[in-house]
């Protein structure tokens, strides 16, 4: 019988994201708790909180080099993202926290990244990007409560692997790209 050594998976569920620093994560989780009191549903764990920039889905591991090269082309300055607006999507019952004003650098980052991915042949989302942090799932929604604003200093973006677990997805940050 031949023994097989544990090996790296040949495909990964991947996405690019903004990943909060500790202080921002704490503030976002507090907003999640506040929104949960109003709208119910499943409160996302603090360690899951992020903003998706580009969703790749299941990706062969041997394409990692091409993905990294795409992200390497992005040249966006660091910026502050002010989150100040709770929202609810009825079609997927998600309660989220977003920005009433999207900074130009955020738009630039998403456009540059998705353009590079598209040129390299990766599937990109045709829908307009709405920057949001998912805070609640399977939520009823309701009247929108006022939320304390959160200032997120965005200094980098990351590539994340998503794995399914019994209590929701587990995310692992694989790599970081600093912003200028
Ligand atoms: P789960 O699907 O296990 O309930 P999840 O949605 O958090 O958990 P993923 O489906 O791996 O985990 O998604 C990772 C991130 O990418 C999330 O922010 C999710 O909203 C976003 N995402 C997932 N599918 C798409 C898609 N088709 N288009 C755009 N963004 C997506
Ligand atoms: Mg999902």
Domain boundaries, the chain: 12-178
Q: What confidence score (pLDDT) does residue 3 get?
A: 57
How many C-beta atoms surround the C-beta of residue 4 within 10 A? 6
Nearest protein CA to atom 19 of ligand 1, as residue: 52
Residue 6 has pLDDT above 80, yes or no: no
Q: What confidence score (pLDDT) does residue 155 get?
A: 98
Nearest protein CA to atom 20 of ligand 1, as residue: 52
173 CA to middle of ligand 1, Å?
15
Q: What confidence score (pLDDT) does residue 63 get?
A: 96
Residue 132 annotated to the active site: yes
Dihedral of CA atoms 55, 59, 64, 70 in degrees, nearest 10, equals -40
User: Angle 66-71-76 (CA atoms, 0-180°, nearest 5)?
Assistant: 160
57 CA to middle of ligand 2, Å?
9
- pLDDT band at residue 36 under the 50/70/90 scheme: very high
Residues having CB closer than 6 A to ligand 1 are: 13, 15, 52, 55, 125, 134, 162, 164, 168-169
Q: pLDDT tens digits, residue range 137-159? A: 999 999 999 999 999 999 999 99
Dmax (CA) of the chain: 64
Q: pLDDT tens digits, residue range 43-86? A: 999 999 999 999 999 999 999 999 999 999 999 999 999 999 99
Residue 5 has pLDDT above 70, yes or no: no
CATH architecture of the region 12-178: Alpha-Beta Complex (3.90)
**Average confidence (pLDDT) over 84-112:** 98
Nearest protein CA to atom 23 of ligand 1, as residue: 55
């Amino acid at each position: 019988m031949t023994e097989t050594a544990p090996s790296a998976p040949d495909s990964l569920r991947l996405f690019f994201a903004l990943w909060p620093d500790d202080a921002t994560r704490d503030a976002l989780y507090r907003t999640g708790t506040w929104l949960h009191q109003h709208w119910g549903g499943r409160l996302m764990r603090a360690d899951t909180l992020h903003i998706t920039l580009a969703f790749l889905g299941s990706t062969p591991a041997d394409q990692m080099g091409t993905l990294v090269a795409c992200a390497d082309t992005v040249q966006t300055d660091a910026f502050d993202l002010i989150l100040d607006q709770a929202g609810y999507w009825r079609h997927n019952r998600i309660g989220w926290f977003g920005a009433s004003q999207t900074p130009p650098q955020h738009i630039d980052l998403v456009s540059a990244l998705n353009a590079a991915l598209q040129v390299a042949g990766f599937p990109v989302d045709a829908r307009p990007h709405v920057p949001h942090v998912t805070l609640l799932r399977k939520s009823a929604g309701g009247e929108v409560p006022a939320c304390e604003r959160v200032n997120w200093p965005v200094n980098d973006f990351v590539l994340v692997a998503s794995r399914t677990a019994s209590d929701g997805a587990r995310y692992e940050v694989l790599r970081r790209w600093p912003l200028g």
